[in-house]
Amino acid sequence: MSAIDRRDFLKGLGGSVVTGAAAWQALQSLVPARADELQVTPGFVQFRPEMEEVVRWIEETPRERVLDEAVQRLKKGLPYRQLVGGLFLAGIRNIKPRPVGFKFHAVMAISSAHQLALDAPQSDRLLPFFWALDNFKNAQTQDVKEGDWTLAAVKESSVPSASQARQRFVEAMDRWDDEAADAAITGLYRSAGAAEVMETLWPYGIRDQQNIGHKAIFAAHAFRTLELIGWEHAEPVLRSLVFGLLNGGKSDSAAPFDHSRNLVAQIRPDWATGKPDPVATTALLQRLRQANTNEAAAAVVELLNKGIAASSLWDAILLAGSELLMRKTAIVTLHATTAGNSLFYIFRHSGHATTRLLALLQAASWITMFRDGARSRDGLPDKPHIDEFSPADSAPQNLAALFDGLKQDRANAAAQTLAYARAGGSAAAFFDAARHLILIKGTDAHDYKFTVSAFEDFMHASPNVRPQLLAASVFYLKGSRDADSPLLQKARAALASL
């Protein structure tokens, strides 16, 4: 401890050098409120005191003043993680997760905003959080207009014992029983570790494609955000998640899951030792253009049993989702990427072979559902095919020129990006440019969700398919000629006082 400079220590705590009484005042501001200092609202879920205090001022501050209030709290020493956690939990308490989507993006997009902030330059680092904060206030207003839903306190008398919680939860979810599942997930959280809870939940997150895949997206993003803010805050989050997963009841969208569960037993036990095969990637991509849900899942099983690596099959699924966006840039095709990204996340994070395989089979089946959904809603051109898409004659001289022309001609920008990537252009530089444009021009949750999904999928894809994925991403990224976000000027003004 004697080697640590006192001024550096204090600077690390508060972001600026403070001494004497000012230093003590900064430290005092980090002490959370006591539970007895916060007035409890009967019937509504309450959070831990350190988060309840943050949630309250986010809930109660008017939209036009909330950015300035956040800055003042940060200046007084409020930790970033607590600020993000308070915003996330404010959404959990105030925004109804039915349907899973629409205004509920105020909850689901928080982890994407945080991911973009992690790699942003210091001058941009708080912009995604400020967007998320403003987005929540807008969603809160919508929720009030639609009935002012609030997550209720759990019915304690119904919470099962530790020995019964998991079985009760599975039974309730299988019969789509809201009330029983709410009590059971509470009991499971209180008696099991994070890994066991999530392993029990993952299959229900991927069970059906209702709400164009948002149930899987909510499951993955809830866990991502809890990893940031702490599992100790998980109980109300899990209750909201379960309520969302049971939205709509059982429907035809769950049929592929039942079929996939039967297929899993037919997969060779050593499937995880398969070998990468680019030819198999192309073959599966081509089959996904015409297959139905059952045929898509069967094709994955066939290739796994031939000793093809799961990574090569994920390459095909990622390409197929990106191709749909190239063929028709629309809300349904966009979710082929964002929902597929969440299924891929679950595949990578689950420790159960059956769940991992179900995520893979569901991802293939869902591609066909997104394809058919887009075709029935908006029409879907047959081309371009992502594996046949040609690069520009030469790579762009600089990324500024590429993003300058993106809005005017996305197909040309994609061809330039493909040439750039195949010429060895820096993916990191491309991501930096694209990220900055999202932060200053993004206005919608999908701007954030798509960007993070596309970047993450790129990093986990095989090197031979990365150029095509990078090229396809420009069909939804922002260009430098897009209008700045209306929030940007206000956010910059608030940041100037930090």
**Where along the chain do its domains lie?**
1-31, 42-249, 252-376, 389-498
Residue 7: the pLDDT is: 38
Is the model's pLDDT at 13 over the cut of 70? Answer: no
Q: Binning pLDDT at 50, 70 and 90, where does residue 496 land?
A: confident
Residue 37: the pLDDT is: 53
Is the model's pLDDT at 42 over the cut of 80? Answer: no
Q: Please provide the average confidence, as pLDDT, over all residues in the chain.
A: 92
State mean pLDDT over 362-378.
96
Is the model's pLDDT at 330 over the cut of 80? Answer: yes
| CA–CA separation, 85 and 87 (whole Å) | 5
What is the tens place of the pLDDT at every residue in 82-130? Answer: 999 999 999 999 999 999 999 999 999 999 999 999 999 998 999 999 9
Partners of residue 50 on adjacent β-strands: none
- Residue among 310, 140, 111 at smallest CA distance from 217: 111
State mean pLDDT over 405-429.
96
Tokens of 188: 């499971």
State mean pLDDT over 486-498.
89
State mean pLDDT over 396-418.
94
Residue 39: the pLDDT is: 59
Output 498 or 403, whichever has higher pLDDT: 403
Residue 497: the pLDDT is: 80
Is the model's pLDDT at 448 over the cut of 80? Answer: yes
Q: Binning pLDDT at 50, 70 and 90, where does residue 498 land?
A: confident
Residue 25: the pLDDT is: 46
Residue 40: the pLDDT is: 56
Residue 63: the pLDDT is: 97
Partners of residue 44 on adjacent β-strands: 152
| CA–CA separation, 447 and 127 (whole Å) | 14
3-state secondary structure of 152: strand
Among the residue ranges 267-271, 389-393, 469-473, 493-497, the one predicted with the least confidence is 493-497
- Residue among 294, 310, 321 at smallest CA distance from 347: 310
Is the model's pLDDT at 69 over the cut of 60? Answer: yes
Peptide linkage before 236 cis (omega within 30 of 0): no
Is the model's pLDDT at 18 over the cut of 60? Answer: no
Highest mean pLDDT among 13-17, 370-374, 488-492: 370-374
Among the residue ranges 29-38, 179-188, 211-220, 271-280, the one predicted with the least confidence is 29-38
Q: Binning pLDDT at 50, 70 and 90, where does residue 10 land?
A: very low
- Residue among 383, 370, 273 at smallest CA distance from 318: 370
State mean pLDDT over 411-418.
97
Please identify which residue in the block is written with the tokens 């095919």. Answer: 385
Give the contacts of 19 (CB within 8 A, at least 6 positions apart).
7, 10
Within 10 angstroms of residue 323's Cβ, the number of other Cβ atoms is: 25
Q: Binning pLDDT at 50, 70 and 90, where does residue 6 land?
A: very low
What is the tens place of the pLDDT at every residue in 238-279? Answer: 999 999 999 999 999 899 999 999 999 999 999 999 999 999
Spell 15-26 as b/e; 16+ CB within 10 A means b. Answer: eeebeeeebeeb
Residue 38: the pLDDT is: 54
Is the model's pLDDT at 20 over the cut of 80? Answer: no
User: How would you class 32 by CB atoms within 10 Å of its CB: exposed for 0-12, middle for 13-18, buried for 19 or more?
Assistant: middle
| CA–CA separation, 385 and 382 (whole Å) | 8
Is the model's pLDDT at 394 over the cut of 60? Answer: yes
Partners of residue 275 on adjacent β-strands: 308
State mean pLDDT over 219-240.
98
